[in-house]
Amino acid sequence: MQPFVYHGLPSRVVFGQGSLSRLTEELEHLGCRRALVLATPQQQQQARDVLEQLGERGIGLYTEAAMHTPVEVTERAMRVVEELSVDCTVAIGGGSTIGLGKAIALRTGLPQVAIPTTYAGSEMTPILGETRDGIKTTQRTLDVLPETVIYDVDLTLSLPAVMSGTSGINAIAHAVEALYARDGNPVIALMAEEGIRALAKSLPRIASDPANAEARSDALYGAWLCGTCLGSVGMSLHHKLCHTLGGSFDLPHAETHTIVLPHALAYNAPAVPEAMARIARALGCTDAAAGLYDLGRSVGAPSGLGEIGFQAADVDRATEIATQNPYWNPRDVEAKGIHRLLSDAQAGQRPQ
């Protein structure tokens, strides 16, 4: 066995249908009495329900969370934190809302309870990406890792079917890259394979029956495992491409991950035979890259970047940006190969 370093992250995970009912108990466990509930405008009602449930421990609401954690949104939230003498945050939502809780924690040290309602995985990571004047900068610090995470499947039932599929494949992307990470280790590899298996099995069932609580539960379990992978080891080419496409071309996060993943994996395939075999086994197919493409089709996701606003004429500029300061990758990042990868992803071709 190769030598490795395993660094466990200190967070408490409460998982199960109806587990939101344990929120007050979890705040007590943290010693918190004045919680600010965070959400996006779209999830205001869920946030109000949580505030009501908290009774006297719920001190206020802030429901302006937005994609990519804009600094001006955080600064407005900070004024509320100060005015209300908040002693913790409760973020209910996807990566955008959890990002806001992290941004507040970075500035104040306040403990966080994260209640994820998508499969993006931010709740399990010590990573925060913030946007100032249109530029996103990402940092990794334990100061932003949520202390407590409550996974309650009931909260994911409202996630629309196609969004569930793309969000789940976004999670799978973390596990795929964890399987060939430079700083990977056998424990994270087990989580990665199990996370892919749980999501690949459940996502098509959710697509045809979004209210299926058992499939939803499997998907949320997979999302937890995949989020842990993202929080624990470094990511490579696929995540770099998606950050480029999200940051410079304003493409939607989960759809972009879903479309690019099979192509990024096909590019890396010659360098990572063991990871390819493990991913294929988890997907229950023979070719991992083609299997991921087919999974995208089975959940009704768009097949090409062209469908979400990325033109063939954008490929040159995207290649240039993505090959500047590349992340470590198991295969050399060469402009010609990346151009082809992005052209295939733009057109929505099945990887060969």
- Tell me the window of 13-21, 24-32, 126-134, 196-204 that interacts with ligand NAD (CB under 6 A): 126-134
Minimum distance, C-beta of residue 62 to ligand NAD, in the bound complex (Å) = 14
Q: What does DSSP say about strands 88-93 and 35-38: parallel, antiparallel, or unpaired? A: parallel
User: Which one, 93 or 222, has the nearer CB to ligand NAD?
Assistant: 93
Indicate which single residue of 100, 105, 159, 178 sits in contact with ligand NAD (rule: CB under 6 A): 159
Q: Which two tokens stand for residue 157?
A: 């039932």
Indicate which single residue of 22, 68, 331, 339 sits in contact with ligand NAD (rule: CB under 6 A): 68
- Tell me the window of 8-16, 96-104, 215-223, 280-288 that interacts with ligand NAD (CB under 6 A): 96-104
Report the alpha-carbon distance of residue 28 to residue 60 in Å, rounded.
Answer: 17
At 315, give phi and psi (nearest 5°): -60, -40
Minimum distance, C-beta of residue 46 to ligand NAD, in the bound complex (Å) = 8
Asked if 128 is part of the footprint of ligand NAD (rule: CB under 6 A), the reply reads yes
Q: Which two tokens stand for residue 274?
A: 């063991």
Asked if 43 is part of the footprint of ligand NAD (rule: CB under 6 A), the reply reads yes
- Tell me the window of 49-57, 104-112, 114-122, 145-153 that interacts with ligand NAD (CB under 6 A): 114-122
Report the alpha-carbon distance of residue 277 to residue 126 in Å, rounded.
Answer: 29
Asked if 95 is part of the footprint of ligand NAD (rule: CB under 6 A), the reply reads yes
Tell me, letter by letter, the H, E, C secondary structure of 220-286. Answer: HHHHHHHHHHHHHCCCCHHHHHHHHHHHHHCCCHHHHHHHHHHHHHHHHHHHCHHHHHHHHHHHCCC
User: Which one, 40 or 346, has the nearer CB to ligand NAD?
Assistant: 40
For residue 81, give the 3-state DSSP assignment: helix
Indicate which single residue of 19, 122, 268, 329 sits in contact with ligand NAD (rule: CB under 6 A): 122
Report the alpha-carbon distance of residue 345 to residue 129 in Å, rounded.
Answer: 25
Asked if 92 is part of the footprint of ligand NAD (rule: CB under 6 A), the reply reads no
* Cα-based distances in Å from 50 to 44, 111, 129, 237, 306: 10, 17, 26, 39, 39
Asked if 291 is part of the footprint of ligand NAD (rule: CB under 6 A), the reply reads no
Minimum distance, C-beta of residue 244 to ligand NAD, in the bound complex (Å) = 13
User: Which one, 19 or 344, has the nearer CB to ligand NAD?
Assistant: 19
Asked if 48 is part of the footprint of ligand NAD (rule: CB under 6 A), the reply reads no
DSSP codes joined into one string, 3-57: ---------EEEESTTGGGGHHHHHHHHT---EEEE--GGGHHHHHHHHHHHGGG
At 251, give phi and psi (nearest 5°): -85, 150
**CA Rg, the chain, in Å?**
20
Indicate which single residue of 70, 121, 291, 302 sits in contact with ligand NAD (rule: CB under 6 A): 121
Indicate which single residue of 93, 165, 168, 302 sits in contact with ligand NAD (rule: CB under 6 A): 93
For residue 179, give the 3-state DSSP assignment: coil
Asked if 74 is part of the footprint of ligand NAD (rule: CB under 6 A), the reply reads no
Indicate which single residue of 207, 254, 283, 295 sits in contact with ligand NAD (rule: CB under 6 A): 254
Strand partners, 122: none
Asked if 232 is part of the footprint of ligand NAD (rule: CB under 6 A), the reply reads no
Q: How many CA atoms lie within 13 A of 122 on its CB side?
A: 33
Indicate which single residue of 11, 19, 40, 258 sits in contact with ligand NAD (rule: CB under 6 A): 40
Asked if 167 is part of the footprint of ligand NAD (rule: CB under 6 A), the reply reads yes
Q: Interface residues with ligand NAD (CB under 6 A)?
A: 40, 42-43, 67-68, 93-97, 99, 117-118, 120-122, 125, 127-129, 155-156, 158-159, 167, 230, 253-254
